[in-house]
Structure formats: C-alpha cells, structure tokens
Amino acid sequence: MSLGELRDELGYRKLGRWVLAEIADTLQATGLGFFPTHRLDAEINKEPRQWQTVWIYQRDEGPRARLIEAILHPDDYDVRGVLDSIAGINLDALSDSQRLQRIRDIVNA
C-alpha cells in the first residue's frame, strides 16, 4: 500500500513524523506487519511521500509471516530453523498448526 492510502485510511491530510508513527502503531495493534520498516520510521524517512509503498502482511504463525519476521528480526528468531521448516528440512521447527497441515496433506495425497 502507498503511504498516501494509509494516511487517508487514518483520516489525515498530510504525512509527517506523527502520522508515520500512528500508521506503524495501528498496523502492529491490528496484528499486521510491514516492510520495508524504514518507510514508517520518521528518524530515517525524514521526507515521507504519499507514493512511497510498504508491503503489509498478517503476523500469524503462517510460513510467510514466520519467514518475514525472521528476516526482519534475525536476533529474535532461529532464522536457519525457519528457513529449514519452509524448505521441509527441519520438521521440529514447524508450529503445531503447520504440523497438522502437513499430516492432512499426507493423508489426502
């Protein structure tokens, strides 16, 4: 989504440091993540433009979210384990729901 679309969604007319912070806080409070993270960081993005975009994703236990979170926050995750689980190498790294889905896939194959 563009920063302009996100700004409009919150009911603002201009982008600024406080609007960027509110967008980031609102996304996180609703269980959404975004990248690149520097676009909503007023210390880095000192001149935000409405055409700048961020990717938004659901922060759940799904493989996409786990991969994105591991890449964005490598100190908080076992990145190798996440990558291995996605590739199907390390089954121990799968969440409970992912394990159940693998079992369903095998049974239904």
Domain ranges of the chain: 1-59, 60-109
Q: How far apart are CA 83 and CA 77, in angstroms?
A: 11
Give start and end residues of each alpha helix (H) in 1-109: 3-9, 17-29, 63-72, 79-87, 96-108
pTM to 2 decimal places: 0.71
5-46 pLDDT, tens digit per residue, is: 999 999 999 998 899 999 999 999 999 999 999 999 999 999
Query: Residue 68 in 3-state DSSP?
Result: helix
44-66 pLDDT, tens digit per residue, is: 999 999 999 999 999 987 878 88
